[in-house]
Amino acid sequence: MTLPGVKTVPLMGTLVTIQVVGHDATAGERGARDAAIERAFDWFRQVEACCSRFDPSSEVRRLSANIGIATTVSEMLFRAIEFACALAAETDGAFDPTVGGRMAALGFDRHYRTSERTALAVEPGDRVSYRDVEVDPDRRTITVARPLQLDLGAVAKGLAIDLAARELAPLVHYAIDAGGDLYLAGRNAQQEPWTVGIRHPREPGSLVGTIRATDRAVCTSGDYERPTADGASHHLIYPATGSSATETASVTVMAPTAMVADGLGTAAFVLGPSPGLALLERAGVDGLIVSADLTQVATAGMRDALFSHA
């Protein structure tokens, strides 16, 4: 038995659930609703085909092999790279989309569906950074100056959520859950703002708090996601050293779009609690940062939105 208006599909290495509230009075409404949900899922497939660093035929992999040539790319890929490089500049490289080579060195080089090891498109140089990626918004070209592998993992899922949300916007009340990265629109089935639990980074099944969200993305980056095979490090990498950031346990960001929430959350995670919070405040978004010792810091807006989970 499936609740009408809710569908879950494995996509982009996680489970994606889309729930639409209402639009179920007639067969015609339900048909239009279900068609919109399918179109929303298609955005995830398109972003995956475009931005996956695991798929040799993806647009980003082909771009990464085009060294030194200004390459015209799809609007989707351009938006993802433009945002990733802007975020890298904003964080002075604490967040860096050219971290891909080091991700592979740490063992994050297996396709999540097939578990097959993916060969690098190119051998990454030692000291590559986002500065080796030139973004030209006028001609919509990207130039990869040196051999490197672009990793859009921190922004691609958010972009897919945002594109799916745009598709569902006419339906007003809906939720998109891509493996714990969320976009909540309108109200839930009880006609109330959506309630969102923030996962406790150390106690599986527990929450550090609950917030209400309407027309907002809520994304969490945690050190509990995707541990490496030896359990020694996780997938949020400090670009300068290639080792995992250790001061932060999790960062939750609430923002108007998922790409911004996910990207800023990843960057704040790498920066550490204090500079991370400063980044979120500078960017004008709300967030909660849980340190490795489980102390919490939050923006004023997030403190207001949080209520304790009794």
Partner 1 sequence: MLAPVASVTTSASDAGTTETAAQAAEVSPAPKSQYRDGTYSGWGSSRHGDIEATVVIAEGRIASATITACLTRYSCSLIAHLQGQVVTRQSADVDYVSGATQSTDAFYYAVVDALSKAKGEALSKAKE
Check binding of 186 to partner 1 (CB under 8 A): no
Binding mask 93-132 for partner 1 (x = CB under 8 A): -------------------x--------------------
Identified binder of partner 1 from the candidate list 124, 222, 263, 287, rule CB under 8 A? 222
Q: CB of residue 198 vs partner 1: minimum separation in angstroms?
A: 5
211 alpha-carbon distance from chain centroid: 19
Integer-rounded Cα Rg, in Å, for the chain is 19
Binding mask 191-220 for partner 1 (x = CB under 8 A): ---xxxxxx-x--xxxx--x-------xxx
Binding mask 132-161 for partner 1 (x = CB under 8 A): ------------------------------
Check binding of 189 to partner 1 (CB under 8 A): yes
Distance CA 170, CA 39 (A): 13
Check binding of 231 to partner 1 (CB under 8 A): no
What's 12-52 look like in SS3?
CCEEEEEEECCCCCCHHHHHHHHHHHHHHHHHHHHHHHHHC
Planar angle of CA 195, 197, 198, nearest 5 degrees: 140
Q: CB of residue 112 vs partner 1: minimum separation in angstroms?
A: 6
Q: Are 161 and 184 in contact (CB under 8 A)?
A: no
**Phi, psi at 110, each rounded to 5°:** -105, 135
The owner of tokens 């918004």 is 137
Residues in contact with partner 1 by CB under 8 A are 1, 3, 6, 8, 10, 13-15, 112, 175, 177, 179-182, 184, 188-190, 194-199, 201, 204-207, 210, 218-222, 224-226, 250, 252, 309
